Amino acid sequence: MGPDDHVCVCHRVSLRKLQAFLRREQPTVPSKLSECLGAGTGCGWCRQHLHRLWEQSQAGETPSITDDPDQYLAKREQEKRTKNSEPLALANQSQYDLEMAALAPPPPTRIPLSQLRTGERARVDCSSLSDLPEGERCLLQAMGMGDRCELKRCSGHGCIIQIDRTRIAVGSTLADRVFVERLNDRTAHP
């Protein structure tokens, strides 16, 4: 499997991104990989592979998957269809699943940005950005409102948000059209 092939097919997370995430964040538990663009939080099939990647990185090896991409996808299709997939024998599979379940965000409440309360954090729903006029969408993205990015609302009167270190004033017409998912404090970045 090449670096640009998707390990998590649901969220289109490539092997390269997971490798970079493992190198950069050095996660102490495998479930932390879900913070890499939501890997493993879709159908859940790829968790076995995510776990193996994590194990490889813990062992100091380069995380990789030996299956070729077509084989990988075919296996996924088949196992999802039959539903009685035989997961790879992993020592702490159950622990992983438990952690995953605990970390998986509660069913996302999709609200307009304008309804976010002062001080609350949220994750941008990128599909709502694609409904915006092109000029505003491109500008928002270039200002830092990227795919799945996290933001904080700083002021209740008028919508002032902070993304990373950028503070943006968003007019009410726009704040009604950008949708976000509330984050509870546990998953929010410090």
Binding site residues, another protein, CB under 8 A: 16-17, 20, 23-24, 37, 134-136, 138-149, 152, 154-158, 160, 162, 164-174, 189-190
Q: Report in angstroms how near the CB of residue 145 gets to another protein at its nearest.
A: 7
Q: Report in angstroms how near the CB of residue 78 gets to another protein at its nearest.
A: 29
Closer CB to another protein, residue 97 or residue 177?
Answer: 177
Closer CB to another protein, residue 52 or residue 167?
Answer: 167
Closer CB to another protein, residue 83 or residue 165?
Answer: 165
Q: Report in angstroms how near the CB of residue 167 gets to another protein at its nearest.
A: 4
Closer CB to another protein, residue 49 or residue 152?
Answer: 152
Task: Say how far apart CA 154 and CA 167 lie, in whole Å.
Answer: 9
